[in-house]
Structure formats: structure tokens, C-alpha cells
Amino acid sequence: MGGNLGGLVLLLIILKRSISLRQIIDLHIDIEYTRKVLKYGIKAYLGNIVGFLNYRADTFILNYITDPSQVGIYSVSVNMAERLWIPSTAIGTVIFPRIASLENDEESRKQITPATARSVLWLSLAMAMLFLDSCRLGNLVAIYQRI
């Protein structure tokens, strides 16, 4: 909290020194542009809400059918499975611009794409095995704690 507040104060000091008061007061707002931006933003926001509900519809349905403890177990399991997406999403975010920039070099694209896919596959499989191993270890710890 203190770091954020300090950063905000520092930002305000820098802005005050670099921008004159006349520039701050003389803001011109383009109404037509603002309407376009808000129209697009509302669509994007509604899309995010629908996507969230799509990802969580199973939890809502399961909560309606069963008791909360079962939903909790399911939720933790789904959360662990979704963690497997993190490396592939990160790698995809990094590699997509590079592949897109190779629009005239089809041979390089044909080499990079399968190599990346194989690497992500093996990384995801290794992470899944670690998750399964940690779940098994967690079950063993729970069994020994009962004894």
C-alpha cells in the first residue's frame, strides 16, 4: 500500500514538473471519438462477462445440484488444471508476434510452429505429472495425519 502511494506521489510530482498547468486545463474532449470508444468498450466488457460465465457455468450448475463441499473440491481441481494453461498462454503471447512478422518466410514459420508446439506439449505434460505427484503426496500426508 505504501509503495503504491509513494509511486503515485512521485508520478504526480513528475507530471507537475513536465506539464504546465495550461496544458492540463486546456483539455479538448472529442465527443464522437468518446462515443466510439465507449461503444467498443461496452461490447468488450459484455464479451468478458459472457466469457467469465462460460468458464464458470459448470461451477454454478454443480453448486445448484450438489453441496458446497463437492463444489469446493471441483473448484480446486479445475483451478489446478487451469494452471497448466499458464505456460502455453505465455509462450503463445511471446511467439505469436514473431510468427506473424515472418509472413514472407513460410519456411521459418513451418519450423518454428511445430517446434514450439512440441515444447509446450512436453512442458504441459511435465507440469501435469508434477501436479499429479503433488496430489498423491497430499493424499498421503492427509492419510498419515489421520493415523
**Segments making up each domain of the chain, as ranges:** 83-147
- Cα separation values, 84 from 29, 42, 87, 95, 125, Å: 44, 31, 7, 18, 9
Q: Quick one: average pLDDT of 91-119?
A: 87
Residue 115 confidence (pLDDT) above 60: yes
- Tens of pLDDT, residues 19-76: 665 555 556 777 888 888 888 889 889 998 998 888 888 888 999 999 988 888 888 8
Q: Could you identify the residue written with the cell 450438489?
A: 66
**Which comes out higher in pLDDT, residue 63 or 7?**
63
Q: Could you identify the residue written with the cell 510530482?
A: 13
- pTM of the predicted protein model: 0.52
